[in-house]
Copies of this chain bind each other. A is one copy, B any other.
Amino acid sequence: MIKINENYLKLPGSYLFSEIAGRIRKYNENNPELDLIRLGIGDVTRPLAPSVVEALHRAVDDEAAAESFHGYGPEAGYEFLRSKISEEHYGRLGVKIAVDEIFVGDGAKSDTGNIGDIFAADSTVAVCDPVYPVYVDTNAMAGRAGNYRQADGRWSRLTYLPCTAENNFVPELPSTDEAAPELIYLCFPNNPTGSVITREQLGLWVDYARKNGSIILYDAAYEAYITEDLPHSIFEIEGARECAIEFCSFSKLAGFTGIRLGYTVIPRELKVDGTSLNSLWSRRQSTKFNGASYLTQRAGEAVFSVQGQKEVRETIAYYQANARTIYSGLSKLGWQVYGAVNAPYIWLKTPDNMGSWEFFDYLLEHAGIAGTPGSGFGPCGEGYFRLTAFGTAEKTEEAVARITTLVR
């Protein structure tokens, strides 16, 4: 008699964004006439850049003729895209990443979710709190998280790194009294808090990981939103090639949320007990994945053209302006507001000490605005709320106006 993976049964409720989508669906059904403003799920609203659209049309035409048809591609991605990532993205940062250290995939969610496959099932894991739920849930599914405790909303085997207003939402190193966590998930600019990490702070983590034989899983999905002098890649930090894997995405860089493209960087010198993690991931991907769509990879290539860069930077600037609109609008109400400056997320302390889901329902019911409850990202997120900068400028301004009216 077949048995299921029992770890799945330990997962509490459904995936955060599915839960939010469900509540919004219900709200819409009950209020069909109302104009809902969605600043919840971190989805973009601007169309693809013209250069990307052109590249996609060309790629479709490639697939329309036998001479230029592309079937199965290399599982790790086409050279034309990987070399652009190496030269344009990393080259510009002054970071040397070889083409064969880059694995193109269908998005950072898949890659951050699947990377656990190559590590031992009993590896110990540290996550920030609050945190992007995928890191936690995928480790829970793999059995690494232990058991979920309803009482404090934490998993028994995870190490939580509290990110609070006190530490500016940048976690401190774990106490040296405890065994170091073997896998450490970091994400900067941070989802959900919009906080950033300095080179010095990130250097402390790299040193810690090297000293303790830990691996940092670094999610850089939001690096394009950095406006200040901060690291865009963990590989800007000395020693990171010996202890870090980096995940990047075209979703927020170029609006590819519906197109699907991301990549993962595993340096060749990153080894565990002599085994190359680059080789293990290569084996994982070539066995369980058949490469990202040719069309999408051509689209990704176009993002790195001169014109493509100009266009995607304009769109990013558009979202950055939204972030400032929300940040300054809510600050004016006397609310405590974080993030926004180097990130597309605005993280706010809920007013009147409302609970996160209470504030979610309150904002949905009274202002027709959907955000994301901070507690959905972990216990330390309770009493906080996330808004995204990915709406239209009009809706974003309207949202701030509605909240201002509601509060005053």
Contact = CB atoms under 8 A, between A and B. Distances in A.
B277 A4 contact: yes
A134 to B, nearest CB: 6
A350 interface: no
Interface in A280-319: 280, 283-284, 286-296
Query: What 6 A-B pairs have minimum CB-CB distances, sorted nearest first?
Result: A113-B288, A1-B213, A3-B120, A2-B182, A71-B257, A43-B71
A137 B75 CA distance: 16
A316 to B, nearest CB: 15
A60 B64 contact: no
Contact of A1 (B43, B48, B50, B182): B182
Interface stretch (A8-16, A199-207, A358-366, A372-380): A8-16
Contacts of A215: 2
A45 B71 contact: yes
B119 A4 contact: yes
Contacts of A165: none
Contact of A109 (B70, B273, B290): B290
A325 interface: no
A57 interface: yes
Contacts of A2: 119-120, 123, 182-183, 213-215, 272
B3 A123 contact: yes
Given A288-B138, A293-B260, A63 B70 contact: no
Contacts of A133: 287
B56 A295 contact: yes
B45 A4 contact: no
A72 B18 CA distance: 12
A79 to B, nearest CB: 13
B259 A110 contact: no
Nearest to A46: B66
18 contacts: A1-B273, A2-B120, A3-B272, A3-B273, A4-B275, A8-B284, A43-B72, A56-B63, A71-B255, A106-B289, A109-B289, A110-B290, A259-B294, A259-B295, A260-B292, A293-B295, A293-B296, A295-B295
